[in-house]
Amino acid sequence: MLHNIKYELFIRMRAKGLVFWMILFPVALGAFFKISFSNIYDEYTSFSTVPAAVVENVENPVFHTVTDEISKEDNPLLEVTYTDKEDALTLLKEQKVSGIIWLDEEVSLSVASDSIEATILESFLNQYKRQEKIITDTLETNPAALESVISEMNSETESCVRIPLTEGNTDNLLNYYYNLIAMVALFGSEGGLEAAIRNQGNLSAVAARKGTSPAKKSVTLLSSLISACIVQALCCALTVTYVNFILKINFGGSLPFVYLSGLIGSVLGVSLGFMIGSIGKAGENAKTGICMAVSLASCFFSGLMVNTMKPMIIEKAPWFNDINPAALISDAFYCLNVYSDYSRYIQKNITMIILSVLMAAIGFILTRRRKYASL
């Protein structure tokens, strides 16, 4: 068995297709994502300080005090500019500020469009209005406590905008990288297909030679599958490592789980290819084509290509996502990304393991025969 696994590993590691599809392609695609999304990341990450113009038609020392206190912080929520109405409107038109705060008898807000910054300003003003009395009283009775009151208000405003669902990175763009890893895992179907073909005497000469040897078919098949899983898992781990450590994409605290799902997904991919390679009497080329078509269809229905597909499948045929390998792999990552507890993540991984065992068993049953009607 070890002899077989050793050489099966050599064979797979030296395959030219492996270097391109399992290593270079994901690296290039990951780099492409990184470059493409860098602008979007800047937009997302620079909203912490919101520029705002303040037009003080009625003198408001309390608001002055609040904005002064806020601007003292290391990472201030607001960057306010006190100005007149004309200047403020010009700044808003030129998008140099996200909104105008009008200090009249009542404090009000004007924004140019709906945006995250506008939401922050609105939230801040709501907080201010609710706590204006407290701030006024604090100024009069205990000015030393003012800083902590404003700080509290600041943090509440932030919490209204950022709702952490998990300890992980809730960035939606992360899904693209998860999909990339899922795709690499599903590429394992190619390795599984090879394992099936290289053990069927009617499909390859080396399989015929193996078939004439005293080596048990179960041993040669298992060796092929184990080596395919090892190589696939390594490639998947390499992709995760590259995305996390080279591209600096933060998976939050879920990195070990990303590796784990990559491993299980790789086994699932290999099992899928093995099962496809074992079905029917079609030749190697036909089976490769079928395997590719099934993998692409699996990716398509899981929403890896068209993001509206997944909600549609959930609505029309939710059961399909539980047998669709690509959907299972991406869902496992999605669960890591969205849910704070791991129950759904564990459920998805267990489903993947069950499906892998099932597909591998079907493959074994179909390839166990040793005599063929024609060679």
Partner 1 sequence: MAETIVKIENLVKRYKDLIAVDHLNLEIKKGEVYGLLGPNGSGKSTTINSMLSLLAYDKGSIEIFGKEMTPVSYDIKKKIGIIMQDVAVFDELTVYENIDYFCGLYIKDKETRKKYVTDAVNFTGLNDFLKFYPKKLSGGLLRRLNIACGIAHKPELIILDEPTVAVDPQSRNKILEGIQELNRNGATIIYTSHYMEEVEQICTRIAIMDKGRKIAEGTKEELKRMIKNTETITVETENVPDEILSRINDLSHVYETEQSEGRLIIRCGGGKHNLIRVLSVLQEAELNFGRVYTELPTLNDVFLEITGKVLRDREE
Residues that bind partner 1 (CB under 8 A): 3-4, 7, 10-12, 14-15, 201, 205-206, 208-216, 220, 370-375
- 62 CB contacts (<8 Å, ≥6 apart)? 132, 135, 136, 139
Query: How far out from the chain centre does Cα 233 lie?
Result: 18
Q: How far is the CB of 19 from partner 1 (least distance, A)?
A: 12
User: For partner 1, which is the closer residue by CB, 273 or 303?
Assistant: 273
The nearest distance, CB 227 to partner 1, in angstroms, is: 12
Token look-up 């991919």 returns 269
Q: Say which residues have a Cβ less than 8 Å from residue 105's Cβ, sequence separation at least 6.
A: 58
CA 248 centroid distance within chain: 14
d(CA 351, CA 364): 20
Nearer to partner 1, 96 or 368 (CB): 368
CB-nearer residue toward partner 1: 320 or 372: 372
CB of 205 to partner 1, least distance (A): 4
CA–CA distance, 307 with 285 (Å, rounded to integer): 31
Min separation Cβ 215 and partner 1, Å: 4
The minimum distance between CB 279 and partner 1, in angstroms, equals: 19
Q: How far is the CB of 266 from partner 1 (least distance, A)?
A: 20
Nearest to partner 1 of 220, 302 (CB atom): 220
**Total residue length of the chain:** 375
C-alpha Rg value of the chain to the nearest Å: 29
Phi-psi category of 164—alpha, beta or left, where left has phi over 0 and alpha has psi -120 to 50? beta
Measured from the CB atom, the residue of 141 and 374 that comes closer to partner 1 is 374
Closer to partner 1 by Cβ: residue 3 or 129: 3
220 or 321: CB nearest partner 1: 220
One-letter amino acid for residue 366 of the chain: L
- Cα(290)–Cα(54) distance, integer angstroms: 65
Tokens linked to 185: 């895992």
Q: To which H or E segment does residue 257 belong?
A: helix 255-278
Shortest Cβ distance from residue 206 to partner 1 (Å)? 5
> 343 or 374: whose CB is closer to partner 1?
374
| Integer angstrom CA distances of residue 62 from 65, 83, 91 | 5, 17, 24
Contact 189, 236 (CB under 8 A): no
Phi first, then psi: give them for residue 53, nearest 5 degrees. Answer: -100, 145
- Cβ-based neighbour number of residue 3 at 10 Å: 10
- Please state the closest distance from residue 1 (CB atom) to partner 1, in A: 10
